[in-house]
Every structure is written in structure tokens, then in C-alpha cells.
Amino acid sequence: MAGADWWRGAVLYQVYPRSFADSNGDGIGDLPGIERHLDHIAALGVDAIWICPFYASPGRDFGYDVSDHLAVDPQFGTLEDFDRLLAAAHARGLKLLVDLVGGHTSDQHPWFRRSRTGHAAPEADWYVWADPSPDGTPPNNWLSVFGGSAWTWEPRRRQYYLHHFLSTQPSLNLHNPAALDALLAVGEFWLKRGVDGFRLDAVDFLAHDPALRPNPARPFSGPTPAKLFGLQTHQHDMLQPGIDHVLARIRALTDRYPGTTTLGEVSSQDGAFDRVRRYSSGDRHLHMAYTLRPLRGGFDHAIASALLAEADGRAEGEGWPCWSFSNHDVERAVTRWNPAGRDASPDPRFARLLVALLLSMRGSLCLYQGEELGLPEAELTLEQIRDPFGLTYWPEFRGRDGSRTPMPWQAEAPEAGFTTGTPWLPVPAPHRGLAVDRQNDDATSLLALWRQALTFRRSHPALVRGGQQRLDLPAPLLGLVRDYAGQRIVALFNLSDTPQRCALNAEAGLGPDFGGTVDNGYAELPAYGALFATLETAEVTIRKSEKV
């Protein structure tokens, strides 16, 4: 897409670099590995790549604990490797976004090393420090997402420091102008190198209550959950008004580099969709935002219908959402939402339905590596788990490694072509049959469908930039109308394993074959089928569905 607002309706491809492609045989994916496979990404028909952190890091949280924002970690390559990757992506017409981890750093970062020594260092107040309670316990009851108190005692400074995640990830104090300026300088470093924007990690945690008031308890019934974070209403440790100032400063920075964009990650806390709209509205917020809320729960007619309702809106007046069904932090969608249950083999027809549903939604889209292959969640043993989140909560929560296993490039090659060495996570046997080389030349494969679907979406402005209206349909049907500059497209989805038939005042179907057809005023939808069609009239009329 051309123009300064290329991001509006764009499709992003998320790369988790540790697991994408290894070029040197050490078992860890790297920047040269990404460059070698750019043609695969470009052939999908996406507009941009978002690369998860590759910065210098001790790796306690696999790159999200940054120790030097301006350096590439040696396991991923060098700054020169990054520059070559960026140039190669641009040569293929692909934009490139990088992660800006602004809420915290590693405890090995020079900023924190100096801050923890006492009150005299210039960075003394760049992090959130607080005196102990009179009895020596933490300043308040705030909890870490990863478990336990959100406070760790620092004996050298005689204070506690805040960490929303691991204790090795101290939280930056972005209320401090100097700390915020330092973060913006990091962003400018990468913008000057030519990146096309940032994905902003954990936006809801970028500001805290300076008074450090305790969080109220959240009403809860039933047995005590494994993750105690859910027992509080997170009124003071996150979701603070100060976030707006931080976002305004970041937006002002990117506005100085025309054509760059920002994508914010919004938590799954209550009001998530409202925050997506707020954080992406006007010229003092981000360009786009997405929320983890749809990725945390199940999938049925009521849930999917509510999701489409959240996407309803006009093209450019109510913020700009970005939608994804999978990412590096959650279970893969074909497993998480499997109608037959997460322990059953995913139904290929359901995977194709998810393609149709995602490409139909108002906003921009993000496709996670391996999603185009229909990869299911990997089943790993405790001994194979590397994620500290999973190690803490096993077996109630198995962590995030099941969605982070290596990308399968060649079905018959050692380690599926990901590496010539021993991969940092194992290659699941079920993934080999879904490898890129198996699907690449198969016109009936899910990979082929993604390519067709994204080409179809790009060629229809109503799907890229249009408004959206959800249709009120009985289960198991879902429907919506996308419209832009006189083009009106209706999309229908059958969420059941039983064929459905309904009256529809639309012309013949459009786009890739999702199974649905229109004939003589009726839409026929097979099990997990979908249909796109051009409306004949200004209003869509769909009479009650019937089983075929």
C-alpha cells in the first residue's frame, strides 16, 4: 500500500525471530534467517512485517527484557544484519515494524544498574521506587502478572522497585520526563535507521498511580485460581490516565517521520475494546491498537457475534483496530478455538473459516508466523518448556512455548529445515506434514487459500478501508456488511458442522472458495463454510437459516 496512511487496512505478518529461521546452526532463529525467507512472506500478499525483540538481552523473558535498546543481541546477528534485512524487505515492497518495549527494561540495563545504586545517579528516578511499609513488607498489594508481589527489595538502595512481570524486568517510571525522553531517543534511533514504525508492548502498563494506592479486591467465587493476578481490580497499577501523555509523545515522534506508524498492544482487562478505540483515535494517540481479549477465551456463536459487534463502525471516525487470532503469547487459534475441543485434531474446514472471518473484519490485520500453515498448538513436556511463565504455573498453565516452536520449512529435512543444529524448542511431529514445502505448490492448501484471500481483500476497498455493520443472525450463522465508496460486500459464516441454507438478496459469490455459494436467491453454506457476495440492494435481507 502506498501513501502515509498505508497502515489503514494493512496486513502485518508477525515474526518471532527465535523460531522463524536459523542461518548459523546454533538452534536459534536470527535476522539473516528472516532475510532468507522474505520471499515466503512477500508471496502471502501482506503489507508489513512486525519483528519481535532482537535487542541485547539476558533472555530471561526471551527478548522482552532489554539490556541495550540500541544493539542487536549476538544470537540474532548484528546491526549490519538488521540493515540488510530492512533493505531487503523494502526492496520487496514490505514495510518493517519493530517492537518498542517501553514499560520496563532488564535489570542488567545500564539505566537500572545506575538507578539501583542510590539517589545520586541521573537515572535514580527513571524506575518506580518506593519505601517499604513500616513492617518491611512491600509498599502495597500490587501483584505481578507472572506471580507473586510486583515489588522486589533492593538492599543497596533500601527501597523496593516495581516490576509488572519478572523480577528481572523493573518497570520504567515514564512519569519522569527524562525517562520518557530516553525512551523516545531509542525510538528515534530506529526511525533514523529506516524502520516503518513500532509495535508497542503492554500499553496498559505504561503508567501507574504515583500515589501507589492499593488495588481493590475483585469479587471472585470458586477455588483459588493459580494466577492470583485475577483476584484484583487493576485500578492503580495499570490503566492510568498518564498513558495518554506517553502515547501523545510517541505519536509526535513518529509524525516527524512521515509514513511511519504505531501499533499498541492492549491488555485483556475489562473495557479492552473501548481502550482500543481511545488509544487509536485522533492525532495524539497511536495509529492502531489491538487487544488480547479475544485471544484469551473460547469461540462459539455468542462470542464470535460479540467480537463482530466490537468491530462495527465507520471507516475512519472511531479509532482504528488491528485484529489477530494468534500471536506469540497465546495458544494457536486452530487449537484454542477448535469446536471439537483443544485435544482433538483441528478440522481443516474450521481453519479455512478462520481465514474468511479474519480477512472480513474492519481494521488492519496481523497474521502470526505459522498461522498461514494452520499449525496447531505444540504439546510439550515439562522438560521441554523454556518459558518462565509456563514453568511457574505448570500444569494448570503450560506457558507460551506451544505457540513458539520452530517454523517448519521442509517436511523431510532435519528439524524441518529450521536449523542444522539442535533447535531451542523441539519441532512437533504434526507440524512436519504442514511444512511450507508441502503446501507451497498445493492449490488446495491453507497456504494457497491465505494467498488468495489476501489478494482478494487487497482488491476490494470495502474490505480494506470500509465501515462494518454486523447482521443480527441466529446461530449458527454470523454475518456482516462492509461498505466503502458505493461498494457493499456481505460476508456470511457457518459456525457449525451442519450445512446451512438461507435467503440472501446478493449476486454470485466473490473471492476464494470458502465453500459457500449463492443460487437463485439462496446462500448455501457447508459445514464451517463462508461466503462473500456483492449486495444487489442497499439493504441486506436474510431470512431464517435452514439446515440443508
Three cell numbers at 479? 454475518
pLDDT at 296: 87
Cα-based distances in Å from 225 to 147, 229, 230, 485? 11, 9, 8, 50
Q: What is the pLDDT of residue 539?
A: 59
pLDDT digits (tens, 9 = 90+) for 477-495: 999 999 999 899 999 999 9
- Contact predicate 462/532, CB 8 Å: no
Predicted confidence at residue 509, as pLDDT, reads 82
Residue 537 has pLDDT above 70, yes or no: no
Domains 11-105+177-456 and 467-547 share a fold: no
Average pLDDT for 372-398? 96
The answer to which of 126-135, 334-343, 436-445, 538-547 has the lowest mean pLDDT is: 538-547
How confident is the model at residue 544, as a pLDDT?
53
In 3D, which of 57, 33, 61 has the Cα closest to residue 329? 61
Three-state secondary structure call for residue 338? coil
Q: What's the pLDDT at 209?
A: 98
Catalytic residues: 201, 265
Q: What is the pLDDT of residue 37?
A: 98
What value does the mean pLDDT take over residues 168-174?
98
CB contact at 8 A, 337 and 357: no
Work out the average pLDDT over 63-77: 98
Residue 446 parent element (H or E): helix 446-458
* CATH 3.40.190.10 is the classification of domain 11-105+177-456: no
Average pLDDT (184-201) is 98
The pLDDT of residue 2 is: 67
pLDDT score for 540 = 66
Q: Measured between alpha carbons, how far apart are the two ends of the chain, in Å?
A: 41
**What was the pLDDT predicted at 379?**
96
Whether 239 has a pLDDT exceeding 50, the answer reads: yes
Fold classified for 467-547:
Immunoglobulin-like (2.60.40)
Mean pLDDT of the chain: 95
Judged by average pLDDT, the poorest of 22-36, 61-75, 77-91, 519-533 is 519-533
Q: How far apart are CA 364 and CA 501, in angstroms?
A: 31
- Reply yes or no on whether the pLDDT at 545 is more than 60: no
What average pLDDT does this structure show over 495-513?
90
Cα torsion 235, 238, 242, 248 to 10°: value is: -130
Domain positions in the chain are: 11-105+177-456, 467-547
Share of the chain above pLDDT 70, in %: 97
Separation CA 85–CA 41 (nearest Å): 13
Beta bridge partners of 185: none
pLDDT per position as a tens digit, 312-330:
876 566 799 999 999 999 9
Burial of 91 (0-12, 13-18, 19+ CB in 10 A): exposed
Rounded Cα–Cα distance for residues 41 and 62 (Å) = 23
Nearest-angstrom CA–CA distance, 95 and 50: 9
Of the two residues 1 and 487, the one the predictor is more confident about is: 487
How many CB atoms are located within 10 Å of the residue 96 CB?
22
- Grid coordinates 517499604 are at which residue? 132
Label residue 304 by pLDDT band (50, 70, 90).
very high
pLDDT of residue 548: 47
pLDDT in tens, 412-465: 999 999 999 999 999 999 999 999 999 999 999 999 999 999 999 999 999 999
